[in-house]
Amino acid sequence: MEATSLAAGAPRIKFTTTHAGATTARGLATPAAWAAAVAPLTCALDALAATGGAPVLPDGAVAGNGALVDAAGGLLVSRSAKAAGVAASPADVVRVVRWDARTWAATYETPPVGVPPPATADGGVPRPSSDTPLLWAALMGPAGPAAAGAGAGAGAAAAAGGGGGGRGVTPTPPPDGGVARARARDGGGGGGGGDPPLPRRDAL
């Protein structure tokens, strides 16, 4: 579905983003601290690509994304429009600090000063993955890690396949402005009816 959307000229990111500048969060504000914090996520992204879960889409950038809850209470998210054929680096991660399901908007920070910015496929400031609504709902809940229960907190992680091999997930914007519903789909893009809808996070 995402490949079809991109081929038709639609943007990858279908929600509003606000860049709050380079992060100054405690434990993340230096290049070395940032690199250490995002290392599990960049390793996971490389593994996703190696196993076929991050195919190249019609816009020339890869699919397949992931997220990790950091110790300061933010959501470390793989950036959108990552170039194909290169290993993930600390510059390929941004930090989402707020998600507003009512307005469908994300506020995020880029890596700290001293981390060279990556070359993005769209030529702009790196922005969070188009899977951010789903990743936030899965790991943060409607009001952050505390509301998400024991499954959230530092170290909790999720990955979303990109439609090649493996299993992908796509966020479905809720018509009533509530918490995003997650809809599972077959990553192969072929036949089959897919899986039934996952329950709303706020119903768990």
Q: What is the pLDDT of residue 159?
A: 57
What per-residue confidence (pLDDT) applies to 32? 98
Both tokens of 124, joined, read: 């702009």
Tokens of 185: 């789909």
Domain residues for 8?
Answer: 2-203
H helices present in the chain, as ranges: 2-7, 31-50, 132-139, 145-148
What pLDDT is attached to residue 149?
47
> Which residues, given as ranges, of the chain have pLDDT below 50?
6, 8, 10, 146-153, 163-204
106 CB-near residues (< 8 Å, 6+ apart) = 15, 16, 17, 18, 96, 98, 99, 100, 128, 132, 133, 136
What pLDDT sits at residue 189? 33
Whole-structure pTM over 0.85, yes or no? Answer: no
Residue 133, SS3? Answer: helix
Enter the tokens of residue 165.
């091999």
Instruction: Please give the Cα distance from 1 to 73 (Å, whole number).
Output: 32
Contacts of 104 (CB under 8 A, 6+ apart): 15, 16, 133, 173
Q: Which H, E and C letters describe 28-52, residue by residue?
A: CCCHHHHHHHHHHHHHHHHHHHHCC
Structural domain count, the chain: 1
Rounded-to-integer distance, Cα 47 and Cα 157, Å: 14
Could you tell me if 140 and 152 are in contact, meaning their C-beta atoms sit under 8 angstroms apart? yes
pLDDT of residue 23: 97
What per-residue confidence (pLDDT) applies to 25?
97
- What pLDDT was estimated at residue 60? 66
Amino acid residing at 88? A
C-alpha–C-alpha distance, residues 111 and 22, integer Å: 5
pLDDT at site 107: 97
From the list 108, 112, 91, 116, the residue with the least C-alpha distance to 22 is 112
